[in-house]
A and B are shown apart, each in its own frame.
Chain A
Amino acid sequence: METVRRRIRDKVEAGERLSESDALALYRTRDILAVGEMAALANRRANGDRVYFIVNRHVNPTNICVNRCRFCAFSKEKGDPLAYTMTMDEILRRAGEALEQRATELHIVGGLHPDLPFDFYLTMLRSLREQFPSLHVQAFTAVEIDYFRQITGLPLADVIAQLKDAGLGSLPGGGAEIFAPEIRNEICPEKISGDRWLEVMEAVHAAGLRSNATMLYGHVETLESRVDHMRRLRELQDRTGGFQSFIPLAFHPKNTEIAKGYTTGLEDLLALAVARLYLDNFLHIKSFWIMVGPKLAQISLHFGVDDIDGTVVEEKITHAAGAQAGQEMSVAELVTMIRQAGKIPVERDTLYNVVREWPAEGDGG
């Protein structure tokens, strides 16, 4: 192991690409200090001491979903007493509140609703653009995009073009889960395949829209399947360059059909640090504080992470599965947490343009 680690360290220092077996070896080590320090080096090279966050608001227009993913505690069937669908007014009201709170982004993802027509989403995008032109709308996972294709019968490229035309600014990275079919069939059999997820993202990037990529870990996947997942993302990123950030998502077991504990701190830090090292063509690695908790998220800033997501305000999906963190962090809290870690807080917009940079030392925040 010692020689393997030295070889990997040499590669990292030389800026060489890691192989899949390197990534696997890093996952298998318990030497989090060694892996973390390598990831910190790679991150410093890419982002210096800057740590990004965004002032944003999540909106989940509906929890009604035709899929029944076993890891999901959020989705409900139509008719379930806990099912909900927001009206257009409710969505717009949240956008208005977001703007008052100086948000630059709305993050909109929801279930695959059996009845809402594609026009609902187009109207939503147009209304948001008309009423809140300064808000960037990051919306719809690849799964939702493919669902729109299915319900409209339109070619994928047309669906994306219409959404873009109506005001879609970029896409989040959800629905990726784990690409490997044997794992995917076990945790989300109805969901589009990993191949399809990647095809949709390729088409999204081809249309000139950026997106993120995620990976759901800590359920029944193997380490090999995680490496395979990242390999496929790295290959697509080599072709398109359209991914902005990679976000490992820690599985939360409560109210799901998968009997498993919460992820450990070591597992979370390894997921982030190995991603930073292996995904050399992803500039940003994001630790979603809602998922891993604000304390571990802060520590992760020393383990290869340069983005801590945002203010969020209202989070339904992970909280349905037992997330312990609150739903909102103020800008002051985010800035303090980043500074206390010895890093430079940078408020970004969705496309990583700098909105405000805080000085490293001195008063502020």
Chain B
Amino acid sequence: MSGSAADWGEAVRLLREAPLFELGRSADAVRRELHPDGIVTYIVDRNINYTNVCSCGCSFCAFYRKKDAPDAYVLSGEELSAKIVDTIAAGGVRVLLQGGLHPDWGIGEAVRLVREVKRHPIQLHGFSPPEVWHFAHQSGMTIGEVIARLSDAGLDSIPGGGAEILDDEVRRRISPKKIGWEQWAAVMREAHRQGLRSTATMMFGSVETPEAIVAHLLRVRALQEETGGFTAFIPWVFQPGNTELSRDPRFGEASPRGFGHAVGYLRVLALSRILLPNVSTVQVSWVTMGAKVAQIGLFFGADDFGSTMMEENVVASAGVSFRMSEEEIVATIRDAGFTAAKRRT
């Protein structure tokens, strides 16, 4: 199921040309098939970014800093613990832990972080594939060894970040120093093999073509066919504020024809649902699209409202700061006629 040429061509046609309502209805049908009970899930968790120091320097990112920048930071163990205590007090069941590729960090620092988090009774969803790859590289270990060490220390699952667009031509333009798509897939394959589940994301609306979006979706589908380890797919829209990429003429040229806008978001969301029937959940991104568009996303194939976040630093660096409390998430799901259910992982 790696995607025949016919699949590919038809998917590109759907994305570019299908009437919005046709896409919506097809996606909604897949969602109903997988979730006939009309349940839309969400999680109360906290997003923690342990450092903004990153040697990757992706042009689409407004969050990263060089090590010597005045606003560079690394959270101390005490700061991390305090955030987790707050999270538990607020009813949070999970921490989403991600950070930059710190040039001085290797597996030792990563394991220490995991232990710090797991001193508390809370799930740890952490370290996207570029981080895992970075720790392996820094410490001269294999991906398998790094994942085993993190897993032994208590890591529960892996977030699907750093996927951007799983197409190396796009990656060369927006994140040339980041791992390629096959390495991203290799980390996920190994994590799934070791019994860790993960999500998969897609950041679109930068300089990619419709063909690259479809390639991404078909690659995730093929990998899922192989491992079955993806729990959810999360497409989200590139936020250009304060980024180097926003000043790149190639972005200026690509964006009017791209999908980085509200209608484009619904199209990509629906296509994701249609092309990934083997991934149980598709999540809306209220963080980038706001509560209103996210709610409409529930009619275009999504069955999960994501998380309360509690803090969000990466998208906020690009000047976008939507906020939603648990009450708002529940009310929004119910208003759309669905049953809201809090998930644990």
For B24, the chain A residues whose CB sits under 8 A away are: 33
> Is A159's beta carbon under 8 Å from chain B?
no
B277-312, CB under 8 A of A: which get 1 and which 0?
000000000000111111110010000000000000
> Is A96's beta carbon under 8 Å from chain B?
no
For A265, the chain B residues whose CB sits under 8 A away are: 291-296
A336-353, CB under 8 A of B: which get 1 and which 0?
110111100000000000
Tell me, in angstroms, the Cα distance from A127 to B190 when the chains sit together. Answer: 75
B237-281, CB under 8 A of A: which get 1 and which 0?
000000000000000000010000111101000000000000000
For B72, the chain A residues whose CB sits under 8 A away are: none
Tell me, in angstroms, the Cα distance from A37 to B28 when the chains sit together. Answer: 14
A36 near B292 with CB under 8 A, answer no
Stretch among A2-10, A74-82, A198-206, A266-274 lining the B interface: A266-274
A298 near B263 with CB under 8 A, answer yes
> Is A261's beta carbon under 8 Å from chain B?
yes
For B262, the chain A residues whose CB sits under 8 A away are: 294-296, 298-299
B337 near A340 with CB under 8 A, answer no
B332 near A340 with CB under 8 A, answer no
For B264, the chain A residues whose CB sits under 8 A away are: 340
If the complex has contacts A264-B335, A339-B256, are A32 and B296 also in contact, measured as CB distance less than 8 A? yes
Known: A33-B21, A292-B292, A301-B263. 15 other contacts (CB 8 A): A33-B299, A36-B21, A40-B21, A261-B331, A264-B336, A265-B295, A265-B296, A266-B336, A293-B290, A294-B262, A296-B262, A298-B262, A299-B266, A339-B256, A341-B263
Give min CB distance, B116 to chain A, whole Å. Answer: 36
B21 near A365 with CB under 8 A, answer no
For A37, the chain B residues whose CB sits under 8 A away are: 21
If the complex has contacts A33-B25, A267-B335, A339-B256, are A296 and B263 also in contact, measured as CB distance less than 8 A? no
A237-278, CB under 8 A of B: which get 1 and which 0?
000000000000000000000000100111111000000000
> Is A302's beta carbon under 8 Å from chain B?
yes
For B20, the chain A residues whose CB sits under 8 A away are: 302, 342
Main secondary structure of the interface of A (DSSP, over half): helix
Give me the interface of A with B, judged by CB distance under 8 Å. 30, 32-33, 36-37, 40, 261, 264-269, 292-296, 298-299, 301-302, 336-337, 339-342, 365
For A40, the chain B residues whose CB sits under 8 A away are: 21
Tell me, in angstroms, the Cα distance from A246 to B328 when the chains sit together. Answer: 29
Give me the interface of B with A, judged by CB distance under 8 Å. 20-21, 24-25, 28, 256, 261-264, 266, 289-296, 299, 328, 331-332, 335-337
Tell me, in angstroms, the Cα distance from A294 to B261 when the chains sit together. Answer: 10
Among residues of A, the one whose C-beta sits closest to the C-beta of B300 is: A33
Tell me, in angstroms, the Cα distance from A294 to B266 when the chains sit together. Answer: 15
Residue among A32, A293, A302 with max Cβ neighbours from chain B (10 Å): A32
Give min CB distance, B177 to chain A, whole Å. Answer: 31
Tell me, in angstroms, the Cα distance from A134 to B335 when the chains sit together. Answer: 46
A269 near B256 with CB under 8 A, answer no
Tell me, in angstroms, the Cα distance from A292 to B336 when the chains sit together. Answer: 17
For B290, the chain A residues whose CB sits under 8 A away are: 293, 295-296
Sample 14 A-B pairs with CB under 8 A, ordered by A number: A32-B296, A33-B25, A33-B28, A37-B21, A264-B292, A264-B295, A295-B262, A295-B292, A299-B262, A299-B263, A301-B263, A302-B263, A336-B256, A342-B20
Residue among A36, A264, A294, A302 with max Cβ neighbours from chain B (10 Å): A264
Give min CB distance, A198 to chain B, whole Å. Answer: 31
Tell me, in angstroms, the Cα distance from A220 to B157 when the chains sit together. Answer: 45
Tell me, in angstroms, the Cα distance from A49 to B292 when the chains sit together. Answer: 24
Residue among B261, B264, B336 with max Cβ neighbours from chain A (10 Å): B261
For A341, the chain B residues whose CB sits under 8 A away are: 261, 263
Among residues of A, the one whose C-beta sits closest to the C-beta of B336 is: A266
Tell me, in angstroms, the Cα distance from A32 to B292 when the chains sit together. Answer: 13
Give min CB distance, A2 to chain B, whole Å. Answer: 15
B263 near A340 with CB under 8 A, answer yes
If the complex has contacts A33-B24, A33-B25, A336-B256, are A299 and B293 also in contact, measured as CB distance less than 8 A? yes
For A336, the chain B residues whose CB sits under 8 A away are: 256
A293 near B292 with CB under 8 A, answer yes
Give min CB distance, A196 to chain B, whole Å. Answer: 34
B293 near A342 with CB under 8 A, answer no
If the complex has contacts A37-B21, A264-B291, are A32 and B299 also in contact, measured as CB distance less than 8 A? yes
For A301, the chain B residues whose CB sits under 8 A away are: 263
Among residues of A, the one whose C-beta sits closest to the C-beta of B264 is: A340
Give min CB distance, A308 to chain B, whole Å. Answer: 12
Give min CB distance, B286 to chain A, whole Å. Answer: 10
Tell me, in angstroms, the Cα distance from A267 to B263 when the chains sit together. Answer: 17
Among residues of A, the one whose C-beta sits closest to the C-beta of B22 is: A37
For A33, the chain B residues whose CB sits under 8 A away are: 21, 24-25, 28, 299
Give min CB distance, A223 to chain B, whole Å. Answer: 14
For B292, the chain A residues whose CB sits under 8 A away are: 264-265, 268, 292-293, 295-296
For A266, the chain B residues whose CB sits under 8 A away are: 295-296, 335-336
